[in-house]
Amino acid sequence: MIFGLRDVMAVIPEAIVAGAACLLLLVDFLIAKKRKIIVAALSIAAVAAAAFFSLYLVGTDVMWKKVFAGMFVVDGFSTFFKFVLYLATVLSMMLSFHYVKEEDINTGEYYTLMLFSLSGMMIAASASDLLSIYVAVELMSIPVYVLVGFLQKDARSNEAAMKYVILGAFSSGVLLYGISFIYGITGTTELSAVAGALADPSMHTPALSIAIIMLVAGFGFKIAGVPFHMWAPDAYEGAPTPITGFMSAGPKAAACAAVLRVFTEGLQPAYSRWVVIVAIVAVLSLVYGNIVAIAQKNIKRMLAYSSIGHVGYALLGLVAGGTEGASSVMYYMAVYAFMNLGAFSIIIMMRKGEQKGEMIEDYTGLAKTRGGMALLMLIFMFSLAGLPPTAGFIGKFYIFMALIHKGMVGLAVIAVLMSAVGAYFYIRIVMLMYMKDPVNPVETASSRGLYYALAIAAAGTILLGVYPGYFIKLAQMAGGSL
């Protein structure tokens, strides 16, 4: 019950982000509408401070031990994910500078809500108790519901927010119900204690299967895996584009972190029970996401389906299990943050004045008029498709290797086939850009934030592709702590 300095030390990064969000909510009143970029700069500074403390904690004795009576843990796994989350948040904020002016949603709350969401994501990565995981997942989702509906005059945005909030609340209920089953069976919500209780085979009652199904469904909604994906395309299409990028890189990675921790730490003794269910969701996501994406005309919607497909790959890493499986998911999430936010920054660049730039045909002949931009888009599309020498290739390769090492060749074959299907719609955009002549003149936005974000995303996508050794080692070290 009593906690001390060590416990407080462990949550300093989260406290910085949450505290900064509260403060900035008030500071915002002092800043004129034209200068809301100050709020953005202060938010980025807060994330940087949190990142600094996360790095500082790595060497201290706060690491690896559970604090707050088993509710929270700072380990390599959570630290790795936190850096992915910092990256996703900062990049999304940089993408927003231009976009919020273009859409006239230039308010301070936009950035503070992102900070609130980040604090929830960070706790989700570190939470080691089903209850703190639940609270963290809510804290990360609720600000995103608001952000999705930020384009108040756009009916699509309103619809997206409505769908997202209703299905999100519903899925939270399912998740909580599953948690209550786990508590009923094992008498605890703390993950290592759950694992301890489940080590006894007499615990493996039909109720445990119900609990697992509920947990898979609840988390399935949060990460948008098939058949719990139906909110994703509408929410992704309707949301402000930087928020679409943010959702697909931040909250998704954090929910994956929570899923990994729950299933590989808490429910490891019941592996044989959940592996089939998770594998089914993974395969359905792969097949459905990649095939339906082919038919899309709106690029945001296409990337929504593609992100459903990518969740399938991440879940396959979970199915493979063990250190290798976990670290392959971690690596994949880092790669995905870079390449997906890169693709979204190109889409945001196309948004200028009357030009929405959301249709795939808008990209026709882009290479002739905007060579550099087309080249960057080519890199991101190749990476999303999983072609070497980009990061996406290494990420997929690593997951497939984890599967094959576990003898799950069948799943690996399905995944490879589906990534071939996926390559079709990614490369179709590249073909449109390079092989066709431009139809309409394109205008592109120029903003320093966008350029920096693009540079970081492109550098990450290439670096993680050509020089993956160091980062894979990091992921392995971090994943070993699960």
Binding site for other proteins (CB under 8 A): 1-3, 22-23, 25-26, 29
54 or 119: CB nearest other proteins: 119
State in angstroms the smallest separation of the CB of 68 from other proteins: 11
113 or 253: CB nearest other proteins: 113
User: What string of DSSP letters covers 401-445?
Assistant: HHHHHTT-HHHHHHHHHHHHHHHHHHHHHHHHHHHS--SS-----
3 or 64: CB nearest other proteins: 3
Beta carbons of 317 and 328 less than 8 angstroms apart: yes
State in angstroms the smallest separation of the CB of 24 from other proteins: 10
108 or 386: CB nearest other proteins: 108
Is the torsion defined by CA of 12, 13, 15, 16 positive or negative?
Answer: positive
What type of residue is 361? E
Contacts (Cβ under 8 Å, ≥6 apart) of 217: 171, 174, 175, 178, 228
22 or 435: CB nearest other proteins: 22
Q: Dihedrals φ, ψ of 104, to 5°?
A: 55, 45
State in angstroms the smallest separation of the CB of 107 from other proteins: 11
29 or 206: CB nearest other proteins: 29
Cα angle value 346/450/111 (rounded, 5°)? 110
State in angstroms the smallest separation of the CB of 191 from other proteins: 24
State in angstroms the smallest separation of the CB of 139 from other proteins: 12
26 or 169: CB nearest other proteins: 26
What distance in Å separates the CA atoms of residue 261 and residue 482, rounded to the nearest whole number? Answer: 7
What distance in Å separates the CA atoms of residue 113 and residue 96, rounded to the nearest whole number? Answer: 13
State in angstroms the smallest separation of the CB of 88 from other proteins: 25
Peptide bond preceding 389 in cis form (omega within 30 of 0): yes
State in angstroms the smallest separation of the CB of 135 from other proteins: 14
What distance in Å separates the CA atoms of residue 27 and residue 34, rounded to the nearest whole number? Answer: 15
